[in-house]
Amino acid sequence: MRILVVEDEKKVARFVQQGLEEEHYTVDVAHDGEAGLQMAESENYDLLVLDVMLPKKSGLDLIREFRARRGTAPALMLTAKGSIEDKVAGLDSGADDYLTKPFAFAELLARVRSLLRRGSKEKSTVLMIADLELDTVTHKAKRAGRTIELTAKEYALLEYFLRNKEHVLSRTIIAEHIWDYNFDTGTNIIDVYVNHLRAKIESPGEKRLIHTVRGVGYAMKEE
């Protein structure tokens, strides 16, 4: 899942980015409201995490304009302002949840997971296809009862495939969701990671689940 963090305090932004990346999310960061709005509108994010007090454009204005232009990604507001009036203003502007600074990262993570489930067609924390399953809370993958050890990028790739099973995903779309904002699409790194993932989830004798669509990309499906 891909998340945009818009936070002008660079220490806070690094803390949030690092923590989310350790939980296998792909995270982009902007440090002002104008840059954040541009990125939110130009990329396909699964969640926005927005500070309220931002230079150039406030988080409230950002989410208000994003919603006015039919942006649908769920948004979590972060702010030092914790009054009822401030929370109402944030929610009325188009935010989906509100977290007051300072916050415990465990609570931030729980709210992130909740918003991602709310915004997804797949509400369960366990994603499945055939005898393969992935628990998005514990980050454990299993197939036919055997545990599969995954790197952070392999986990992110498998989760994205499972959330979009039966759909053909181009290499460009995969790059946008799994790698960062400045990913070089001219490399073959996506094919390399797909092959690594296949080797782990498709043992000899097991049904193939990741299928190559020539000239386009990949699809996860049963055949």
DSSP 73-123: S-EEEEES--SHHHHHHHHHHT-SEEEESS--HHHHHHHHHHHHHHHSS--
Percent of the chain with pLDDT over 90: 50
Whether 21 and 115 share a structural domain: yes
Q: Which of 37-51, 136-150, 165-179 has the lowest mean pLDDT?
A: 165-179
In angstroms, the CA 18 to CA 62 distance is 23
In the beta sheet, which residues pair with residue 170? 217
Q: What is the mean pLDDT of residues 69-77?
A: 90
Sheet holding 146-148, edge to edge: 126-129, 132-135, 140-143, 146-148
Mean pLDDT for all residues in the chain:
87
Helix axes 171-178, 189-201, angle to 10 degrees: 80
- For CA atoms 24, 30, 33, 35, give the dihedral sign: negative
What is residue 171's predicted lDDT score, i.e. its pLDDT? Answer: 85
Question: The tokens of 174 are what?
Answer: 């995969």
Whether 80 and 144 share a structural domain: no
Q: Would you tell me how many other CB atoms lie within 10 Å of the CB of residue 93?
A: 21
Q: How confident is the model at residue 180 (pLDDT cuts 50, 70, 90)?
A: low
**Residue 43's domain spans which residues?**
2-119
Whether 108 and 197 share a structural domain: no
Among the candidates 119, 137, 166, a domain finishes at 119
The span from the first CA to the last CA of the chain, in angstroms, equals: 26
pLDDT tens-digit map of 125-152: 788 999 999 998 788 999 988 999 999 8
84 vs 53, which has greater pLDDT?
53
Whether 86 and 193 share a structural domain: no
Q: Which of 44-48, 124-128, 172-176 has the highest mean pLDDT?
A: 44-48
pTM, rounded to two decimals: 0.66
Tally of domains within the chain? 2
What is residue 136's predicted lDDT score, i.e. its pLDDT? Answer: 83
CATH code at position 53: 3.40.50.2300
Whether 142 and 184 share a structural domain: yes
Q: What is the mean pLDDT of residues 54-63?
A: 94
